[in-house]
Amino acid sequence: MNSDNSSSLSKTTKAILKEHGITLNKNLGQNYLIDRNKRDQIISFGNLTKKDIVLEIGPGIGTLTIELAKRAKKVIAIEQDSNICQILEERLKNENIDNVELINDDALNVEFPKFNKIIANLPYQISSPITFKFLNYDFQLAILMYQKEFASRMNGKVGTKDYSRLSAMLYFKCDVETLTNVSAESFIPKPKVDSSVVKLTPKISELTQINEDDFKIYSKYVQALFQHRNKKVKNALIDSRHIITDLDKKEIKNKLNSINQKKIEEYLSKRITTITPEEILYLSLKLNSILQE
């Protein structure tokens, strides 16, 4: 971080922001990477070729974007802040870069154009919803920057404090690998926590085993359960019944209490932190049929 290269990226970033009178808003997740070595490392993790179409969420003034565009066939950059978007557009013109599709919109609301890789320093306040949105698209790999604690929860193991809705959702979709950590000192404005760069690689074989309809059912049950992660499965499903059924409290209680299948009864009595994704999948598909009877 103390190298001349990193120092120059920091100076360049600050100069561009000052020139345009931009004050970054930490509440919008506007923490810009100013460590050139980390930037180059992040890009190298993507193994880019001239065949790749890269999706970038929250490009800012183009710290990653410009270098991605030099290596990829195309970059689709989605930036919500219109002022920042104009700065990036100007920088791309000055650099004679014409293979970036710049979209001034909210990444959570826009339909993504076709892409095969994702590389982004994500705005941290949308980390969870944008990650869930990525799961609706086919891609080869994603290299993503998250808050360190969030990254830990992405790969949380059953029975640990990091086991969460996030790790349960990712379990059937992606392999999750933490590639490197990034100090808070590597950003302006400096965030309160360190970050991690995570690689997501879709699990093609598991996707063929779980069809999309089944995964939608599983997703609802995961959401219902982890809203009450310290409870037992049965109680959590009753308390979050509106997510999985139209039955009222008395009706769902009667349905669950009348089940006479040993495996289902066993899973219903488990603590949420100890039930595995495979068990949640089994339970959700069985209960989805039972609760509709």
User: On the CB side of 243, how many CA atoms lie within 13 Å of its CA?
Assistant: 19
Please indicate whether residue 75 or residue 132 has the higher confidence score (pLDDT). Answer: 75
Contact of 117 with 57, CB cutoff 8 Å: no
The rounded radius of gyration (Å) of the Cα atoms in the chain is 22
CA torsion 42-48-50-52 (nearest 10°) is -100
pLDDT at 24 over 80: no
Q: Which two tokens stand for residue 203?
A: 């699990």
Q: pLDDT at position 26, please?
A: 67
Measured between alpha carbons, how far is 33 from 71 in angstroms, rounded to an integer? 19
CATH topology of domain 4-209: Rossmann fold (3.40.50)
Q: pLDDT at position 27, please?
A: 66
Helix (H, G, I), strand (E, B), or coil: what is residue 275? Answer: coil
For residue 25, the one-letter residue type is N
- pTM over 0.75, yes/no: yes
Q: pLDDT at position 22, please?
A: 83
pLDDT at 7 over 70: no
Q: Which residues pair with 146 in a beta bridge?
A: 196
For the ranges 31-40, 199-208, 237-246, the lowest mean pLDDT is seen at: 199-208
Contact of 110 with 79, CB cutoff 8 Å: no
Q: Which two tokens stand for residue 150?
A: 């969030």
User: pLDDT tens, 28-71?
Assistant: 667 899 999 999 999 999 999 999 999 999 999 999 999 999 99
Residue 292's pLDDT band (cuts 50, 70, 90): confident
Measured between alpha carbons, how far is 85 from 67 in angstroms, rounded to an integer? 17
Q: Which two tokens stand for residue 99?
A: 């293979």
Domain range summary for the chain, segments of one domain joined by + = 4-209, 212-292
For the ranges 12-21, 87-96, 142-151, 215-224, the lowest mean pLDDT is seen at: 12-21
Q: How much is the average pLDDT of 174-178?
A: 94
The H-or-E segment that residue 84 falls in is helix 82-94
| Interacting residues of 207 by C-beta distance below 8 A, sequence separation 6+ | 172, 173
CATH of 212-292, one of 2.60.40.10, 1.10.8.100, 1.10.3720.10, 3.30.365.10: 1.10.8.100
Residue 210's pLDDT band (cuts 50, 70, 90): confident
For residue 159, the one-letter residue type is G
